[in-house]
Amino acid sequence: SSQNTNTQIPTATVVGPIASETSDNALGEKLDYKIIGIDAGAGSMVKTEEVMNLYGLDKWQLVEGSDAAMTAALIKAYEAKEPIIITGWTPHWMFKKMDLKYLADPKNGFGGPEQIHTIVRKGLKQDQPAAYQFLDKFWWEPADMESVMVQMIDGKDPEVAAAEWVKNNEAKVAKWVEGIQPVQKEKLTLAYVAWDSEIASTHVVEHVLEQKLGYEVELSQVQTGPMWAGVAIGDVDGMVTAWLPSTDTSYLEKFGGQIKDLGPNLDGTKIGLVVPSYMNISSIEDLK
């Protein structure tokens, strides 16, 4: 559905001739020179500011809000087939529900791909070596994660979706727990934020810990900051949802000394400027 939508916008307050509508000016004016961002101060927001400087988008302004607000704005625009530019990331369910595309980043301002790291509290290695070993080994592909997410979006409970995925991927899972001695009903707490990607991964991890390693896992759904803080003070044993190096960078700075980073559990995530596919631009440079 990447047709040219310009003529479908009856309320467009276009200044120039139709031909120049695709120019940055027209689009910029139509968007009030606003890029819809997420939580003020989030890692990707900081990155986006840098990118905007890099490309000299002085006229543009990054609107701070929250991810929910951003998503809502995106849905609103998408349904009306109006133009919108957001700061986006994958994996995210919005790419499943809508036809979206990243704007090209020729200057590589957003840097390399993001990773999702596993972070545990200090001392977990001694206290719960089994869980520690598993979490250290836990690593999967974006496609794995997405297959869980798709199930969830179709209305399955996360637990069910996770269990099904584990059933269908016994081989992969077996590798994660290979050689680890199961325990007897030890308690373990994991924290996560309520995004679909994190819900998916955390529930898979929970399922494995409980079914394969004999743990009793408690999940704690929190906000990003409290999640990091929880691990840092040892209130939570770990989490598999740290977006690094960009998105959660400030948390790593703050709590780096009080946690143990077990490295990525997923490669190939991405952040960048995202637009609906029906929009007629393809690169950040087009915004100039």
* Alpha-carbon span 287 to 281, nearest angstrom: 8
Interface pattern 108-147 for another protein (x via CB under 8 A): ----------------------------------------
* Alpha-carbon span 169 to 142, nearest angstrom: 14
Q: Is the distance from CB of 241 to CB of 121 less than 8 angstroms?
A: no
Of 79 and 171, CB closest to another protein: 79
Interface pattern 177-216 for another protein (x via CB under 8 A): --------------x-xxxx--x-----------------
Binding span for another protein by CB under 8 A among 20-28, 49-57, 137-145, 223-231: 223-231
In the complex, the smallest distance separating the C-beta of residue 252 from another protein, rounded to whole angstroms, is 10
Q: Is the distance from CB of 145 to CB of 96 less than 8 angstroms?
A: no
CA distances to 2, 199, 265 from 116, in Å: 31, 13, 6
Contacts with another protein in 87-106 (CB under 8 A)? 93
Kind of pairing, strands 34-39 and 61-65?
parallel
Query: Binding to another protein by residue 221, rule CB under 8 A?
Result: yes
Of 169 and 250, CB closest to another protein: 250
* Alpha-carbon span 284 to 24, nearest angstrom: 10
Of 254 and 288, CB closest to another protein: 254
Query: Binding to another protein by residue 260, rule CB under 8 A?
Result: no
Query: Binding to another protein by residue 236, rule CB under 8 A?
Result: yes
Size of the site for another protein (CB under 8 A): 44
Of 163 and 236, CB closest to another protein: 236
Distance, CA of 224 to chain centre: 12
Helix (H) or strand (E) holding 37: strand 34-39
Of 175 and 187, CB closest to another protein: 187
Query: Binding to another protein by residue 242, rule CB under 8 A?
Result: no
CA distances to 106, 114, 129 from 191, in Å: 36, 20, 19
Contact with another protein (CB under 8 A) among 9, 49, 50, 65: 65
* Dihedral (Cα; 254, 255, 257, 263), 10-degree rounding: -120
Binding span for another protein by CB under 8 A among 58-66, 118-126, 168-176, 238-246: 58-66
Q: Which residues contact 48 (CB under 8 A, 6 or more apart)?
A: 35, 37, 62, 87, 110, 273
In the complex, the smallest distance separating the C-beta of residue 174 from another protein, rounded to whole angstroms, is 31
Map 187-213 to HEC letters. Answer: EEEEEECCCHHHHHHHHHHHHHHHHHH
- Binding site residues, another protein, CB under 8 A: 34, 36, 39-42, 45, 63-69, 71-73, 75-76, 93, 191, 193-196, 199, 220-226, 228-230, 233, 235-236, 250-251, 253-255
